[in-house]
Amino acid sequence: MNANNCLRYAALAVTLLSLAGCASGPDYKRPAISPPAAYKEKGPWKPAQPKDVDANQPWWTGYGDADLNALVAQANAASQDIRIAEAQYRQARAAAQLARAGFAPTLGAGVSVGRGRAQTTTGPATADSNGVVLDAGWEPDIWGRVRRSVEAGEARAQASAADLAAARLSIQTELVQNYLQLRITDAQKDLLVHTAQEYGRALALTRSQQAAGIVTGADVALAETQLQSSNAQAIDLDVQRTQLEHAIAFLTGRAPADLSIAARPPDALGLVLPDVPASLPSRLLERRPDIAAAERRVAAANADIGVAKSAYFPSLTLTASEGYMSAIFSQWADAPSRVWSLGAALAATLFDGGARRAQTDAAVAAYDAAVAQYKRTVLSGLQEVEDNLAALRVLSEERARQDAAVTAATVAARASLAQYRAGTATYIAVVTSQAMLLANRRSAVQLLGRRLAASAALVKALGGGWSTAELAGAAVNPVRGSGDRLAVNSNTRFANKSAPVDSTAPRN
């Protein structure tokens, strides 16, 4: 090889290396989001110094119920929805690894044995042909197609990891709300049983009054009706409790027949309304897994634009092969039987009827849709937080009024019953006051259930203590056992994610 050829090859190598530093399509920048400085609803925290939900503390333990803690642990380990999300995450991670394999050359080997007849100068001849060949091929990623494919695959794997966290949080919240409602149902049934006992005593009073000739049988019938109605309402609650128990069994990955949750006496319900600290609206972008998943899909869509644009450029393929070809096996290793080849091919599409342009336009449209979906998810998250903050505030105010109503109804019921004993009031007044007392007591219990459900919904709206730091390395780290968190590296951050810009900027 002379000096001129060496210079040509060196220049070609430098050119290829310089081109390899380029990547088609736009570099990713997170779409600009401007969340409000504070929530519209005033929560139970100082706006200037908000507290984050502790990511290392299971949030459901704040309700102080050991049975609930055990059920959530079982759901984390056995929920079929979580297993589906885990399988989808493994699939996305495998797709990312498949894209990463495009950087490596391909190696192959082949062995051939044949016999054929050919025409020679001396006439037809039959000969054997035996060979062994090693092949190698490599397509340098000059225009960044593989790099953009890897970016897209890793972003989708991280989005799938966030989907897994969102699925786990959703299952936890649903189970917590079902369990709390089951305990509220127990409290309502106990209230009805206790009320039925009071109605039974009132029925005995009317019968004694009738025997003394003070009242007619109408009062006895009213008392009997009231007693049987309360008993029917107590039985009706069994349907709701049974269905809640079945739902909890489903969430924990069991058949309904395999789970039975014992009722508790009213003094042992153990229901505690925990304080739910909240962070600033801007932290939702880091705390909610569904927002993180939507942002990662924007990054994947951005990389897809680069993949589509790389089709405009020619592709370079380098090939090499070496082996031995001989008619006799014993001569395979001889030098005369050795064969080899080196080659390079540069290919480009000159006309495709607008196919590449259509693919690029489709990728740009998909990116715009992903950006819109990301912003929509952020707005939805803000709405959910505001909704549950408002619910907790209003329900807290309602509780004070409801407690006052129960107190007043209790006084009225006692007074009307005393007046009935003294003969200064009809039993209609007793029935009315007792029905009002029962309705207000049930409303108070139901109000507690609504407050507990709203607190769990607020934790979910805030992300349950999850953080985007858990996505670092999600595209390459294996999934751990069911219920465990993903292995993370808190020092890793998303590339080009720290500088939000307007998503309408040109993508050239």
pLDDT (0 to 100) of residue 128: 73
> Considering the domain boundaries, does residue 390 fall inside one?
yes
Label residue 485 by pLDDT band (50, 70, 90): very low
**287, HSE (Cβ side, Cα atoms, 13 Å):** 23
pLDDT (0 to 100) of residue 19: 52
pLDDT (0 to 100) of residue 345: 87
| C-alpha to C-alpha distance for 402 and 446, rounded to whole angstroms | 11
pLDDT (0 to 100) of residue 12: 53
Q: Tokens 């994610």 sit at which residue?
A: 497
Backbone φ and ψ of 38, nearest 5°: -150, 165
Closest CA to 346 of 307, 321, 318, 312: 318
Q: Could you tell me the two tokens for 115?
A: 């016999």
Q: At what angle do helices 355-422 and 145-211 cross, to 10 degrees?
A: 10
Label residue 15 by pLDDT band (50, 70, 90): low
pLDDT (0 to 100) of residue 472: 75
Q: Give the pLDDT mean for 35-46.
A: 69
Distances (CA, A) of 324 to 115, 126, 232, 335, 484: 16, 20, 92, 9, 54
Instruction: Name the residue with higher pLDDT: 272 or 3.
Output: 272
List, for residues 111-134, the tens digit of each pLDDT value.
888 777 777 777 777 777 777 888
pLDDT (0 to 100) of residue 499: 32
Say which residues have a Cβ less than 8 Å from residue 424's Cβ, sequence separation at least 6: none
Task: Give the DSSP H or E segment for 137.
Answer: strand 123-138
Closest CA to 49 of 258, 280, 274: 280
pLDDT (0 to 100) of residue 43: 54
Q: Which residue blocks in 423-488 are alpha helix, DSSP H? A: 427-461
Whether residue 29 contacts residue 499, with contact meaning beta carbons closer than 8 Å, is answered with yes
Instruction: Please state which of the ranges 278-282, 365-369, 402-406 shows the lowest mean pLDDT.
Output: 278-282
pLDDT (0 to 100) of residue 11: 53
pLDDT (0 to 100) of residue 502: 35
Residue 449 has pLDDT above 80, yes or no: yes
List, for residues 370-424, the tens digit of each pLDDT value.
999 999 999 999 999 999 989 999 999 999 999 999 999 999 999 999 999 988 8
Question: pLDDT exceeding 90 applies to what percent of the chain?
Answer: 52
pLDDT (0 to 100) of residue 330: 59
> Considering the domain boundaries, does residue 6 fall inside one?
no
> Considering the domain boundaries, does residue 441 fall inside one?
yes
Total residue count of the chain as it appears in this document: 508
> Considering the domain boundaries, does residue 112 fall inside one?
no
Highest mean pLDDT out of 80-84, 119-123, 480-484? 80-84
Q: Give the pLDDT mean for 74-89.
A: 93
- Residue 434: alpha-carbon gap to chain centroid: 48
Whether residue 23 contacts residue 143, with contact meaning beta carbons closer than 8 Å, is answered with yes
Q: Give the pLDDT mean for 439-462.
A: 93
> Considering the domain boundaries, does residue 396 fall inside one?
yes
Instruction: Please state which of the ranges 5-9, 145-149, 262-266, 363-367 shows the lowest mean pLDDT.
Output: 5-9
pTM metric for this prediction: 0.81
Instruction: Please state which of the ranges 83-87, 207-211, 302-306, 473-477 shows the lowest mean pLDDT.
Output: 473-477
Q: Give the pLDDT mean for 250-270.
A: 86
List, for residues 180-233, the tens digit of each pLDDT value.
999 999 999 999 999 999 999 999 999 998 998 888 899 999 999 999 999 999
| C-alpha to C-alpha distance for 479 and 491, rounded to whole angstroms | 19
Question: pLDDT exceeding 70 applies to what percent of the chain?
Answer: 82
> Considering the domain boundaries, does residue 344 fall inside one?
no
Closest CA to 372 of 460, 306, 287, 297: 297
Instruction: Name the residue with higher pLDDT: 68 or 499.
Output: 68
List, for residues 487-501, the tens digit of each pLDDT value.
333 232 333 333 333
**Per the structure, how many domains does the chain have?**
1
pLDDT (0 to 100) of residue 346: 85
Residue 464 has pLDDT above 90, yes or no: no
Please say whether the dihedral angle defined by the alpha carbons of residues 216, 217, 221 and 226, taken in this order, is positive or negative: positive
pLDDT (0 to 100) of residue 206: 92
The residue range of the domain holding 160 is 22-105+144-313+357-471
Rg (CA), the chain: 37
Q: Could you tell me the two tokens for 462?
A: 């805030």
List, for residues 129-167, the tens digit of each pLDDT value.
777 888 998 888 888 889 999 999 999 999 999 999 999
Instruction: Please state which of the ranges 197-201, 276-280, 281-285 shows the lowest mean pLDDT.
Output: 276-280
Question: What value does the mean pLDDT of the chain take?
Answer: 83
With left for phi above 0 and alpha for psi between -120 and 50, is residue 25 left, alpha or beta?
Answer: left
| C-alpha to C-alpha distance for 448 and 206, rounded to whole angstroms | 35
| C-alpha to C-alpha distance for 57 and 466, rounded to whole angstroms | 10
| Residue 86: burial class (beta carbons within 10 Å; 0-12, 13-18, 19+) | buried
> Considering the domain boundaries, does residue 89 fall inside one?
yes
Distances (CA, A) of 408 to 399, 401, 404, 412: 14, 11, 6, 6
| C-alpha to C-alpha distance for 51 and 28, rounded to whole angstroms | 31
pLDDT (0 to 100) of residue 489: 30
Residue 51 has pLDDT above 90, yes or no: no
Instruction: Name the residue with higher pLDDT: 267 or 434.
Output: 434
> Considering the domain boundaries, does residue 45 fall inside one?
yes
- How wide is the angle at C-alpha 85 spanned by C-alphas 83 and 90, nearest 5°? 95
Say which residues have a Cβ less than 8 Å from residue 431's Cβ, sequence separation at least 6: 222, 223, 226
Q: Could you tell me the two tokens for 321?
A: 């092969």
Backbone φ and ψ of 501, nearest 5°: -135, 170
Whether residue 79 contacts residue 253, with contact meaning beta carbons closer than 8 Å, is answered with yes
Closest CA to 485 of 503, 470, 504: 470
Residue 279 has pLDDT above 90, yes or no: no
Task: Give the DSSP H or E segment for 209.
Answer: helix 145-211
Q: CATH number for the domain including 287? A: 1.20.1600.10
